[in-house]
Structure formats: structure tokens, C-alpha cells
Structure 1
């Protein structure tokens, strides 16, 4: 897995050696960031279900000011930390070893909202309705904030909850990217 563009273009990232983590393909990452365009510059980003950290590191390489990586696996969180050190981006990020729902529940209004949330749950994840509700919280996403959700094309998602509007959708092979915006 390599960083596709930006200041760290071409840097090789470490990836897990087992099938439980499915890093976002380079093609899907290219499409995702092409759709976002310049919207990642100087933003606060949340990389939820971060895996090896590829999406958040790509955002940092493309100019994001800060990324919070949330990953429940301690082993994967250590991999994210190594990737951040390898790309010299560790001073622009925090790696939190925590369940995504626990993080979303404890994160209150005392924290500044995110401009961009990147959520890539495992393909066998079955909590999309609950996840979308949690991500629609006003304190989480800035007024003009964007949410990008990565899923399998085979998955039927619930409708967007109040507070989020589905703006566009892209399909890349077996991957679907859904782009939401705060209403």
C-alpha cells in the first residue's frame, strides 16, 4: 500500500498480513480524494475503523491539518503509529485504541467538530444504522462537514438520518463510496 498523492506521494505503508483488515484499494482511494478535491486542505479529519491508517495518512499527505485515527485493535493501532512515523506525519495525528461506538459516545461538545469523517467498517459490520445516527451528531461533524462511508456494493444501507444528506455515490469494483454532507 502506497500513498497516492501529496507531500508523501510514493511512501510505502505497512499493511496487516491477515485477511481481517481490508485496506482501501489505491483505485478507491484515488476516486475518494478526487471527489473531495481540495476539501482536505487544512481540515480536521476523523479516520474511523482506521485499519492500517491508509485513508487518514492520504488525507495528511494531501494537506489535512490533523487526523484522529480510531482503531479497536491494539496491533493495528501500532501499525498506524509506525506508518505515521515512517511518513513523518506523527506530529499531525493521534492514534486512539478504542471501539468506534465508544469513541463516538464519549466525544462531547468540548472537542472541535471534524471537517471530514472517513469511515471504513469491516465488510461483515452490521451496525450501519447505529453508525450513521452517531455520525449525524451535530457536535461531531462541522456545519459544512463531509462524511465518506466505504462499504461493499452488495450491502443495503439504511436511509441517511436527519442531519446528513447523501450527495453522491461511487462504485469501484466491489467497493462503494458514499459521500454525505451535513444538512
Structure 2
């Protein structure tokens, strides 16, 4: 894996050294950022189920001001920290080893509000309905926040959900689908 565009273009990103994490491919990552960016003028992002930190690091390379990384796996957290340190991004990031729902609740208690949310849980292992509900319930979404959901192609997400409106949905091969929502307060 590597950073595709921006300030850190071409820099390698280490993958998590186990089979519990499925990294977003460069092809899917490039398509995703073409849909939501491709570059940013600041902003705050939350990378839940961060794995190696691939999506959040790409966002920072493309101009995102600050990213909070969350994963519950020890090896993922160590990999994120290594990748952030290798690019000297410590001052623009926070890394937490936590369950996604606890992390959302903690962010709400700290009055953290994000412009972009990346949700890339293990396929078929997390409820997007519950995740989206928790994000809005705990008040961590800025108005018009973009929420990116990477999921298995056979898992169909709704066109709208609570205060979320689907902006786009794309298939990548037979396994991966990206669904992008906008949150309106």
C-alpha cells in the first residue's frame, strides 16, 4: 500500500501484520477520494476501524487538518502509530485503541465534531444502522458531514437513514461496495 496523492504521494503504508484486517485497495481508495475530494482545505476526520490508518493518512496527505484513528486490535494500533510516525503526522492525529461504539461515545463527551467519517469495519461484522445511529446520537457529526461506508457488495445499505442521505454508491469488483452519505442536522 502507498499514499496515492497529495503531500505524501508515493510513501509506503505498512499493512497490519495479521489476517484480521482487510486493507482498502489502492484502486478503491483512489476512486473513493475522487468522489469525496479529491483534496481538502482542512477539516476533521474520524477513521473508525482504521486498520493500518490507510484512509485517514490519505485524507491528511490530501489536506485534511486532523484525523482521529480508532481500532480495537493491538497490532492495528501499533501499525497506525508506525505509519503516522514515519510521515511525521503525530501533531495532526490521535490514535485510540477502543471499540467503535465506545469511541463514538467518548468523542461525544469530549465535544468532538467531524467533517468526514470513514467506516470500514470487517465485512458483515458490524451494523451500519447502529453505527450511523450512534454517530448522530452522540453529536459527533458536523452539519453536512460526509460518511463513507465500505462494505461487502451483497450488503445493501438504505438510500436514506434518519438524517442521512445517500449521495453515491459504487461497486468495486464482486466484493466491495462504497456507500457515501451526507448528514444534515
Q: TM-score category by the smaller chain?
A: over 0.9
SS in 2 for 1:10: coil
When normalised by structure 2's length, the TM-score is 0.92
Q: CA deviation at 1:38?
A: 4.7
Listed one character per residue, the Cα deviations across residues 9-51 of structure 1 (whole Å, up to 9, x for unaligned) are: 0001111232210000001100110011256330100000000
Whether 1:104 and 2:97 are equivalent positions in the alignment is: no
- Residues 76-95 of structure 1 aligned to structure 2 (within 5 Å): 76-95=76-95
Q: CA deviation at 1:137?
A: 3.3
- Residues 67-146 of structure 1 aligned to structure 2 (within 5 Å): 67-108=67-108, 110-137=110-137, 139-146=139-146
Cα separation, 2, equivalents of 1:179 and 1:159:
10
Cα separation, 2, equivalents of 1:180 and 1:99:
22
Q: CA deviation at 1:97?
A: 0.5
Q: Would you say the 8 A contact 1:145–1:182 is kept in 2?
A: yes
What corresponds to 1:63 in structure 2? Answer: 63
Aligned residues: 183
Q: Would you say the 8 A contact 1:136–1:164 is kept in 2?
A: no
Deviates more, 1:53-62 or 1:137-146: 137-146
What corresponds to 1:178 in structure 2? Answer: 179
What corresponds to 2:168 in structure 1? Answer: 168
SS in 2 for 1:136: helix
Unmatched 5+ stretches in structure 1? none
Q: CA deviation at 1:53?
A: 0.4
Unmatched 5+ stretches in structure 2? none
What corresponds to 1:19 in structure 2? Answer: 19
1:110–1:95: structure 2 CA closer, same or farther, 3 Å change rule? Answer: closer
Q: CA deviation at 1:127?
A: 2.0
